[in-house]
Amino acid sequence: MTDFATVDFYTDSSLIENPFPYFEYLRSQGPIARLPHRNVLAVTGYAEAIEILNDPKAFSSANAATGPLPDLPWEPEGDDIGEQLDEHRDELIATGLVVCKDGKEHANHRSLMMNLFTPSRLKANEEYMWSLADTLLDDSADKGHCDLIASYATPFATLVIADLLGIPEDDRITFCEKLGPPPGVVGEEVSYEDSQVLGMSFLFEYFGQYLAERRESPKGDILSQFAQAKFPDGSTPEVYDLVWIAAFLFGAGQDTTARLLGACLRVFCENPELQEQVRNDRSLIPAFIEEVVRYEGPVKCAHRLAVKTTTVGGVEIKAGTHVALLYGACNRDPREFEAPTEVILNRPNARKHLGFGRGAHTCAGAPLAKAEVTASLNRILDRMQDIRFSEAHHGPAGERRFNYEGIYTLRALKDLYIDFTPVS
């Protein structure tokens, strides 16, 4: 039995399969509670999380990628550590990622990234999604059973981003094979030198070469267009800056979307009536997706670093403290969401969840993720009837068991074995 008072959220694998009782324990300590290790305050309160997200001057995103692992490479002093952070920022992990940047630099890099999300590009990408869904389902939909994560969700999400970025088709399979684990592996010792933990060394090498070649000699494709992109003030970014963006889009957009699809199917298997309701009325799919992101979203937590000593919800947050925004808990805050542990379609405040973050760093790929899951659910419901858990893998009703990736940042089903009746 895990002792919630002393457990280390960042290293203890007992919190992986079902973190929600622990989140409720933390909530019972107040909306912002001190964790026993690593100088972390954990936020389970919805209103408090919003206040923090809307105050980027007091709460930096410098530690957004991995939170307190490893801890700051200096001893913070005083009630404003802005200058110390400026001095040491480059020593923190993955500060080249847009998600870890602050202020004007963040705005510049975010606008660079938005060059990839043009309406015409998104439209072409969406057409690709629908045909890809059919191609992938052709391999499994006639069999009556599959592991949805391995056979569909992961290759689907990876190939959609590959298409968005214009990666040549011949290279896409290599992408599926070579991507490493996402950040936040429970218990993993992280060193500052170790970029491998972000699963990105392969992406850096690949995009570095591609973008450098295309800046020299453009080929009229999307990566060439991206290689020529400018900052809003007209200046030219380093190839290195573009590589970080392309690599991050892969990291941020691949696993999250795949695991959201897994969560949707888990909810369908747990609620056969809801499955039928959505099957019979596809206009419910957008509301269903929002509700699953709230109820069981793929991003369990994000982090901020307190730069100025600030009081939120009556709790003083000292400069230098790591703030863990437990989105999975905030989205079940009963002060904000009625009956938070139930899946309810068309909640009046359904879209207010924090599953895609909030504020300056709101998920840039949320519309893409929703389009991917919409296309997939439609095609899955077209091709599979009476979708249910494989009891051989997940156990009988009342004794279900699930494998989740041992990652503190993500809520990610490792596998989801389903049985179903194929629709010819």
Residues in contact with ligand HEM by CB under 6 A are: 61, 64, 98-99, 110, 113, 161, 248-249, 252-253, 256-257, 260, 293, 297-299, 302, 327, 355-357, 361, 363-365, 368-369
Instruction: Report yes or no: 199 and 102 within 8 Å, Cβ to Cβ.
Output: no
Closest to ligand HEM by CB, 148 vs 419, is 148
Instruction: Report yes or no: 334 and 23 within 8 Å, Cβ to Cβ.
Output: no
Report, in Å, the least distance between residue 19 CB and ligand HEM. 16
Closest to ligand HEM by CB, 127 vs 391, is 127
Distances from the Cα of 323 to the Cα of 96, 272, 312, angstroms:
20, 38, 11
3-class DSSP assignment, residue 384:
strand
What does residue 311 show for φ and ψ, rounded to 5 degrees? -105, 125
Closest to ligand HEM by CB, 284 vs 366, is 366
Residue 297 to residue 299: CA distance in whole angstroms: 6
Closest to ligand HEM by CB, 141 vs 412, is 412
Closest to ligand HEM by CB, 98 vs 265, is 98
Report, in Å, the least distance between residue 256 CB and ligand HEM. 4
Beta bridge partners of 413: 404
Instruction: Report yes or no: 299 and 331 within 8 Å, Cβ to Cβ.
Output: no
Report, in Å, the least distance between residue 368 CB and ligand HEM. 5
Nearest position to ligand HEM, beta carbon: 365
From the list 422, 419, 423, 421, the residue with the least C-alpha distance to 389 is 419
Closest to ligand HEM by CB, 162 vs 319, is 162
Report, in Å, the least distance between residue 397 CB and ligand HEM. 28
Beta bridge partners of 323: 41, 304
3-class DSSP assignment, residue 398:
coil
Report, in Å, the least distance between residue 356 CB and ligand HEM. 5
Structure-block tokens of residue 58? 């007091």
Report, in Å, the least distance between residue 234 CB and ligand HEM. 21
